[in-house]
Amino acid sequence: MAYHLTILRSANGLQLPISRDEALAGARKLPGWSVTGETELAFSDGRGSCTLWHSDGELWTRLDDTWVIEPMLELARELGARVRGDEFETYATPEQTYAHPDDKRLAQVARADSAQLLAAHVAEQRQIRNAMIGFFVVLGAIGFLVGKWFERH
């Protein structure tokens, strides 16, 4: 599973969507950024290139290399936004992160959802394991009874 970075804007616990036109205009103002599609931006310099997609009022990309964080931070500043990772950490710099107050509730919900999914998975695994053990116990009992039958005949 890939790690994603998102450029988003929020205030007082509410997301403030970044419009497609606003994102494209912001990218055009910064060196290295270009508009490559209807909802697609690309950054390229000597380190490589990355693509951002606009969806649901956010810009996102897959993090293939950490150098990508720096140009994303520049674009986020231009848009009055911030860069957030999959684990709800907000990037102050490419090396420094913090927990943004608007994301604390989202992180708690994600942890609760994860715990609920894990609990369901553990219960399912327990049922499968018990069924397998039961099958082999029954198979062993049948084998024992068949062996006893052959001893008598």
Please report, in tens digits, the pLDDT of each residue of the chain (153 residues total): 578 999 999 988 888 999 999 999 999 999 999 888 888 899 998 888 999 999 999 999 998 888 999 999 999 999 999 999 988 899 999 999 998 888 877 767 667 767 777 777 777 888 889 889 988 988 888 988 888 888 888
Would you state the pLDDT for residue 1?
53
Q: Which residues contact 31 (CB under 8 A, 6 or more apart)?
A: none
Q: Is 3 left (phi over 0), alpha (psi -120 to 50) or beta?
A: beta
Q: Give the global pTM.
A: 0.70
Would you state the pLDDT for residue 113?
67
Would you state the pLDDT for residue 109?
66
Nearest to 5 by CA among 77, 80, 106, 89: 89
| Residues 35 and 27: beta-carbon distance below 8 Å | yes
Would you state the pLDDT for residue 87?
86
Q: How far apart are CA 66 and CA 50, in angstroms?
A: 11
| Residues 55 and 15: beta-carbon distance below 8 Å | no
